[in-house]
A and B are shown apart, each in its own frame.
Chain A
């Protein structure tokens, strides 16, 4: 049974302070990371794709701005473009919407998390990082409801504690960790990576 990985995708939501956090976290992810990563970082609607460019420069995995109806592949991180909501379809492709802001945000973390939870069910890991608003809390609860795994950044470790705090108040996550702790957890054998096999 150990051939089927427990988790098939990781979603990450971040707001203010998120760029620093992501710049620390993503470079630590090795190229052979067996899951795709989907990211919503709140960002000004008129910003170019600089977020993706900066992150890609410092990371080993491929980091790109999400494309419309693009298939989601392991070892790649997809970043929501400015001014679009990013959604996951049941067939594991990405889609967009320009509907009203959710929690004053477009892209919204809740929109990504809820649709990803519907597509991946219990095979999803949700990570909520630093931020100064309430986006992501609903999405984290929804991931839990669908049987997924949730990690919230320790508010004491976050540049802006409000977002992680709000999420923790709404629904107790599976883990509350510092950024370093989150990285360690993501790399732990038996979590996203398969259990280390003893070579015969």
Chain B
């Protein structure tokens, strides 16, 4: 139990009680459902839980606990609240540009490429990468694993369908990322959504995988995990980065979100910086 973190002598009683209630709730979630949020950024988790109980009109965190333990549905809802699924296609176009310019050339020397998108949310990032790889002539020899711990987003990612209303923004991101083709060639538009082409989905496998509690499932040449580590505390970040390291073959690439870094982790000495700003690293030795 991580009790020290909540025993802050400055705390007034209300917030101490709230922190204890939250600790117990996370413990209960872990014991009952196996999802381990205990080492997530606590400020974030607390905000989301308070938001959830406010919506449910519950007076405090403890009053959620019993329902949560007996109603799976209640946990499913809470999981949606805790897993932040905000994403876009070609989010942070500079990242993709850098992959095109600094990584694709090296990937071309590989006979076969395996890529893992960890924390892929509803898949926008995965389809973006597939487009990039296709344009670089790499997609046909690539296998993409895309995973997330939230079953709902994994299911949605598989469907290759995205709301039409964002497509203008995505097209602009695509162009900023160095895309030269006509973006609309990659999808079919209906009234309210766009459906991406089968030629993009054919080498994708989507699966549920929890970075905190599950193990490595494959050896891969590139791992993309952007804006996932920000939700973990330093200790858990380090643990998950070691998991990535275990999965990456020597010479493989790691791409993180632009506020994330490996510099404080145990794996840092093994990695070379490919792009400091876009947080792209290369595993230089075992």
Contact = CB atoms under 8 A, between A and B. Distances in A.
Contacts of A89: 41-43, 233
Contacts of A147: 12
Interface string A60-84: 0000000111000000000001001
Interface in B212-270: 227, 230-231, 233-234, 237, 259-261, 264
Interface stretch (B2-10, B127-135, B185-193): B2-10
B199 interface: no
Interface in B48-87: 48, 84, 86
B144 to A, nearest CB: 22
A32 interface: no
B284 interface: no
A98 B121 CA distance: 13
B43 A146 contact: no
A147 B15 CA distance: 11
Given A81-B259, A123-B10, A90 B5 contact: yes
A97 B8 contact: no
A90 B43 contact: yes
A115 B47 contact: yes
B86 A87 contact: no
A84 B259 contact: yes
A136 to B, nearest CB: 16
Given A97-B231, A99-B86, A100-B86, A87 B261 contact: no
The number of chain A residues touching the other chain, given as a range, is: 20 to 34
A159 interface: no
Residue among A90, A114, A120 with the most chain B CB within 10 A? A90
Interface in B1-35: 5-6, 8, 10-12, 14-15, 19
Interface in A108-151: 111, 114-115, 118-123, 146-147
A146 B15 contact: yes
A74 B12 CA distance: 22
B261 A122 contact: no
A35 interface: no
Given A90-B8, A121-B10, A146-B15, A98 B227 contact: yes
B15 A96 contact: no
A146 B5 CA distance: 19
B44 interface: yes
The number of chain B residues touching the other chain, given as a range, is: 20 to 34
B46 interface: yes
Given A97-B230, A98-B84, A146 B12 contact: yes
Contact of B11 (A95, A96, A121): A121
A88 interface: yes
Contacts of A96: 230, 259
Contacts of B237: 69
B19 A90 contact: yes
Contacts of B5: 90-91
A65 B256 CA distance: 19
A69 B48 CA distance: 19
Contacts of A91: 5
A118 B41 contact: no
B84 A97 contact: yes
B84 to A, nearest CB: 4
Given A91-B5, A99-B84, A119 B43 contact: yes
Nearest to A84: B259
Contacts of A118: 15, 43, 46
Contacts of A123: 10
Given A89-B41, A97-B231, A68 B259 contact: yes
A84 to B, nearest CB: 6
Contacts of B14: 146
Nearest to B11: A121
7 contacts: A90-B42, A97-B41, A97-B230, A98-B227, A100-B86, A122-B12, A146-B12
Given A68-B261, A88-B43, 20 more contacts: A68-B230, A69-B233, A84-B259, A87-B43, A87-B44, A89-B42, A90-B5, A95-B41, A95-B230, A97-B44, A97-B84, A98-B86, A98-B227, A99-B86, A100-B86, A111-B47, A115-B46, A123-B10, A146-B14, A147-B12
Ranked nearest first, the 9 interchain pairs of A and B with the lowest CB-CB distance are A87-B43, A115-B43, A95-B41, A99-B84, A96-B230, A68-B259, A89-B43, A98-B227, A98-B86
